[in-house]
Copies of this chain bind each other. A is one copy, B any other.
Amino acid sequence: MTKERLTLLDTTLRDGAQTVGVDFSLDDKRQIATMLDELGIDYIEGGYPGANPLDTEFFATRPPLKARFAAFGMTRRQGRSVENDPGVAALLDCASDAVVLVAKTWDYQVRVALRSTEEDNLQAITQSVRAVVTRGKEAIVDCEHFFDGFKGNESYALACAQAAMEAGARWIVLCDTNGGSLPHEVERIVRAVTKHIPGDRLGVHAHDDTGQAVANSLAAVRAGARQIQGSLNGLGERCGNANLTTIIPTLLLKDEFGQNFEIGVSRETLQHLTRVSHALDELLNRAPNRHAPYVGASAFATKAGIHASAVLTDSRTYEHVPPESVGNRRRVLVSDQAGKSNIVAELTRLGVALDRDDPRLGRLLDEVKEKESQGYAYEGADASFYLLAKRLLGEAPHFFDVERYSVAVDRRFARSGGLEDAGAEAIVKLHVNGQSKISAAEGNGPINALDLALRKDLGDYQRYIDDVKLVDYRVRVFQGGTDAVTRVLVECADAKGERWSTVGVSANVIDASFEALIDAINYKLLRDGAR
């Protein structure tokens, strides 16, 4: 059976730039375009040339992409000719293969937001599309508010879409601009539109304001549309755009779509999806969504005792697709509901061989339970769990001893009420291979000072930890009150890009932090085979 081709247009660099907290640099844009291209996206919408200097510069030369490079902009303004509209000129002149023209199609909005007439808006669409096509570029028309427009004035919304098609637009894209449409509405309206415009010229652009951007996009495909617009990790204004990171694996791995359609992304490239998703977050300095479908750190994680053993017996029961298919992996979490199977699975993954019948396994399980009853949580602290296991197995060398440490914070307030001094200092005294080392450091807080002092001079081992960076630090306090138990989770990274997490628990946030920092260093030394 021949499969129909679905086309993907990525708008991470354009609609994604509207995400609160996201500011792309030129270099970010180039890197992201390359990632999208390697993934196999058909169209990369790079931005809005003419609207801001960054996008104008990005479109000055065409990046070396296999994908079609698309510029976004508006149809000509009301009361102007296409030739005299600088916005349109910027789109025609820029180094793009395609131009995405956003066009009003909701009569209400033509009147209220544009303060224009229905007729002038139709002409604006026709003339702008013709100008793009005449310049030898492909025209894509994003029909803004199409679903609201269709519900309000069906014939006018259709007239706009048809004007675009007749003027030569390759794609007519139906946009749910405010994100309020529901899947069955989208399906019904797209199906109605296919009576006027062939499905292989129709696209969909959905937003996640009711949490259904993915469902809306797939509903449109079921109704006949053949282009999906979306973004990596669902970046975009308000609640974000349709998440391509979720849509792509669904299209490839779910029979209904996989057996009927093909896309530019192959099963092989799909195995890079998790990495690409995390690389984007890394670039934007955003914490990855652990619960993201397919690519989230928890997407294939199991905590429960009953489910954990079932996952190990037969993964099909609790995994709707194989984690490896999207480059992710199974995680069976060590938790207070832990059983032997969880622990063995986790050890295997961490590269520690231990037989189910080994008596040391029972001791490790007891130790984990004891620690968890004190407040430790190993599910977010692989490296601490690894150390615990290696120590119990007698496979962890003893690298150094801490003799003492002290931390002092001293504050004096000026008469005005402001702080005069905002520092903290720490002293750490260690014994490393018979040598005594004492280091002091200042930091902008007690933990920062302690971290700096601890990693300042580790003698023979210093070269192993020179590239260690503390990348995340989290604190949770249990049972209320300052005298409750404090759990600190620390995440470190090294120059190779490896990351590892450790945990510390104490009544005292300083002690808990110190414990997690010490574990982080010991893990790095152990893993790098320090001697």
Chain A residues at the B interface, C-beta cutoff of 8 Å: 18-21, 23, 25, 27, 51-52, 74, 106, 109, 112-113, 145, 177-180, 182-185, 208-212, 214-215, 218-219, 222, 234, 237-240, 243, 246, 250, 254, 256, 285, 287, 289-294, 296-307, 310, 313-314, 317-321, 333, 336-337, 377, 379-380, 401-413, 417, 419, 422, 424, 443-448, 451, 469-484, 486, 491, 506-511, 513-514
A171 to chain B, nearest CB (A): 21
Chain B residue numbers with a CB within 8 Å of A234 are 291
Complex partner residue of A403 from B219, B291, B412, CB under 8 angstroms: B412
B482 x A238 contact (CB < 8 A): no
A101 to chain B, nearest CB (A): 14
- Please name the residue on chain B nearest to A180 by beta carbon: B320
B404 x A478 contact (CB < 8 A): no
- Please name the residue on chain B nearest to A242 by beta carbon: B211
B477 x A484 contact (CB < 8 A): no
Chain B residue numbers with a CB within 8 Å of A51 are 337
Known pairs A210-B320, A320-B179, A484-B473; A510 contacts B409 (CB<8 A): yes
B319 x A178 contact (CB < 8 A): yes
Can you give 22 A-B contacts (C-beta < 8 A)? A20-B380, A21-B380, A25-B478, A179-B320, A182-B256, A184-B222, A184-B256, A211-B246, A237-B304, A238-B302, A239-B293, A285-B479, A287-B480, A404-B413, A405-B410, A422-B508, A424-B508, A446-B446, A446-B510, A473-B482, A474-B476, A482-B513
The 4 closest A-B pairs by CB, nearest first: A180-B320, A215-B215, A445-B508, A448-B482
Q: Give the docked Cα–Cα distance between A210 and B291 (Å).
A: 11
A46 to chain B, nearest CB (A): 16
Chain B residue numbers with a CB within 8 Å of A292 are 239
Complex partner residue of A298 from B20, B333, B479, CB under 8 angstroms: B20
Known pairs A379-B20, A413-B404; A112 contacts B313 (CB<8 A): yes
Q: Give the docked Cα–Cα distance between A21 and B297 (Å).
A: 12
Chain B residue numbers with a CB within 8 Å of A480 are 27, 287, 470-473, 491
Q: Give the docked Cα–Cα distance between A347 and B479 (Å).
A: 31
A213 to chain B, nearest CB (A): 8
Chain B residue numbers with a CB within 8 Å of A474 are 476-477
Known: A406-B411, A475-B477. 19 other contacts (CB 8 A): A19-B291, A19-B303, A23-B478, A112-B317, A113-B310, A113-B314, A178-B319, A179-B320, A180-B254, A184-B256, A237-B303, A287-B480, A407-B408, A445-B483, A445-B486, A445-B508, A448-B482, A472-B480, A473-B484
Known pairs A291-B208, A319-B178, A377-B23; A444 contacts B507 (CB<8 A): yes
Q: Give the docked Cα–Cα distance between A318 and B406 (Å).
A: 53
Complex partner residue of A211 from B243, B300, B445, B514, CB under 8 angstroms: B243
A431 to chain B, nearest CB (A): 10
A50 to chain B, nearest CB (A): 13
A145 x B510 contact (CB < 8 A): no
Known pairs A234-B291, A302-B237, A410-B404; A209 contacts B113 (CB<8 A): no
Q: Give the docked Cα–Cα distance between A314 and B109 (Å).
A: 9
B20 x A317 contact (CB < 8 A): no
Q: Give the docked Cα–Cα distance between A379 and B301 (Å).
A: 32
Q: Give the docked Cα–Cα distance between A32 and B178 (Å).
A: 32
B182 x A446 contact (CB < 8 A): no
- Please name the residue on chain B nearest to A254 by beta carbon: B182
Q: Give the docked Cα–Cα distance between A24 and B51 (Å).
A: 49
Complex partner residue of A287 from B215, B287, B319, B321, CB under 8 angstroms: B287
Known pairs A145-B317, A445-B507, A475-B475; A238 contacts B291 (CB<8 A): yes
Chain B residue numbers with a CB within 8 Å of A317 are 106, 109, 112-113, 145, 177-178
Chain B residue numbers with a CB within 8 Å of A475 are 475-477, 509
Chain B residue numbers with a CB within 8 Å of A307 are 18, 237
Chain B residue numbers with a CB within 8 Å of A447 are 482, 509
B178 x A320 contact (CB < 8 A): yes
Q: Give the docked Cα–Cα distance between A208 and B333 (Å).
A: 19
A232 to chain B, nearest CB (A): 14
A529 to chain B, nearest CB (A): 23
Q: Give the docked Cα–Cα distance between A333 and B20 (Å).
A: 8
- Please name the residue on chain B nearest to A512 by beta carbon: B445
Q: Give the docked Cα–Cα distance between A464 and B287 (Å).
A: 33
